[in-house]
Amino acid sequence: MLNPRHILPFLIFISCTAPFPECLFPEREEGARLFITLGNPETRSLNGSAAESWEKKINTAYIYVFQTGTGQLLHLHTLSSSSINALNNGTNNTVSFTIPITGSQSCNVYMVANTSPSASVSTESNVLTSIEQDIASYNGKYSDVTTKALRSQGFTMTASSPGVTLTNGNNTSVSLSLKRIVAKIGIEINLTAVISLGTSVVTDVTISQSAPVSNLFPLPTSNTTGNAINLTQTAQPHTSNTGIYNAFFYIYENDARSASANRVKLTFKVVNTSVLNIQTTYTYNTALNGDGNGKFTRNKGYFITAKVNKLINILSLSPSQACEIHTSHK
């Protein structure tokens, strides 16, 4: 009878059809291994706490790696559903993949979340000139826009890391922090100073002269293609404070503008019914300062308070004592 200990080495030998070294030591995948650690999306809520869950949720994500200088696309990595779930749940914030290169190369890394890449992307300039023209889909009724993402794909977010050195056979680690390409504006209108003058309510609130388009990645100057956007929302009465009304908008970033007439504008209407049951509509109109000179930056939250001290039409773009305007941002 054959001893099994004598048969086993023979079976191992004949089962290995490749040359001996490759059979016991499989060939390692050629290329540079890139490990990307993703920080929590940086947007803050209007009160300074963490961003809302729907503002930072990732639904789809793509990572582009371009050769520095030539701008040639070396690799496009699509994140799997399991990687995206791990990022959203906070169980694993690192993804890795191999880039097929030889030697060492300097590369620029870009990440895009919640928007589909163009099939024509083959160079770095294709990504840098990519735009989004979809601001209306982020906006809607106050009760909706403050509780969920209205845009079906979620909030478009991007991140980049230039000048990353990749070497064949080596591991390279990069940290990225996604930023939303929109800014958000919360508005509080205070009518408590005019409550005694009959019944006053805020009706429509409008943000106008806002940028209609945004580049996916920030450039030295914002994209000004197309006509300015106007967004209107019905004001929401505060649930517990009489005379307080709220509105909430998302806008694309806007450059600073020296002339106030060209800046993003806030307009709201107050309807007053006097004790004699005479109804009058007053319009308040002001240019917004943002970061200064009307600049609004992507991924920032702005909180604007408008305190109405007098029922009067303000059609100029400059704040007055009749309506005090204050802006804070995070």
> What CATH code is carried by the domain that includes residue 167?
2.60.40.2580
Q: What residues contact 284, with CB distance under 8 A and at least 6 apart? A: 267, 268, 269, 270, 306, 308, 313, 314, 323
Yes or no: say if 286 and 323 are a contact pair by the CB < 8 Å rule.
yes
Length of the chain: 330
Do 106 and 189 fall within a single domain?
Answer: no
Do 189 and 74 fall within a single domain?
Answer: no
Do 98 and 210 fall within a single domain?
Answer: no
Q: Mean pLDDT over residues 148-175, rounded?
A: 97
Do 175 and 192 fall within a single domain?
Answer: no
Higher-pLDDT residue of 26 and 193 is 193
**Residue 221 main-chain phi, psi, to 5 deg:** -130, 145
Residue range of the domain that includes 74: 32-116+153-180
Q: Mean pLDDT over residues 305-324, rounded?
A: 83
> What CATH code is carried by the domain that includes residue 286?
2.60.40.3690
CA-based torsion, 253, 256, 257, 260: positive or negative: positive
How far, rounded to the nearest angstrom, does the alpha carbon of residue 144 sit from its chain's CA centroid? 18
Query: Which one of 164, 180, 196 terminates a domain?
Result: 180
Is residue 223 in some structural domain? yes
pLDDT digits (tens, 9 = 90+) for 36-82: 999 876 555 555 445 799 999 999 999 999 999 999 999 999 999 99
Yes or no: say if 149 and 57 are a contact pair by the CB < 8 Å rule.
yes
Q: What is the pTM of this model?
A: 0.86
Mean residue pLDDT across the chain: 87
Count of structural domains within the chain: 2
Token representation of residue 287: 């240019």
Yes or no: say if 31 and 99 are a contact pair by the CB < 8 Å rule.
yes
Query: Which one of 136, 162, 180 terminates a domain?
Result: 180
Q: Mean pLDDT over residues 229-238, rounded?
A: 96
> For residue 137, what pLDDT is reported?
97
pLDDT category of residue 318 using cuts at 50, 70 and 90: low
Is residue 1 in some structural domain? no
DSSP helix/strand/coil, 22 = helix
Q: Average the pLDDT over each of 72-76, 264-268, 273-277 and give the range with the smallest value.
A: 273-277
Q: Mean pLDDT over residues 187-208, rounded?
A: 94
CA–CA separation, 317 and 259 (whole Å): 10
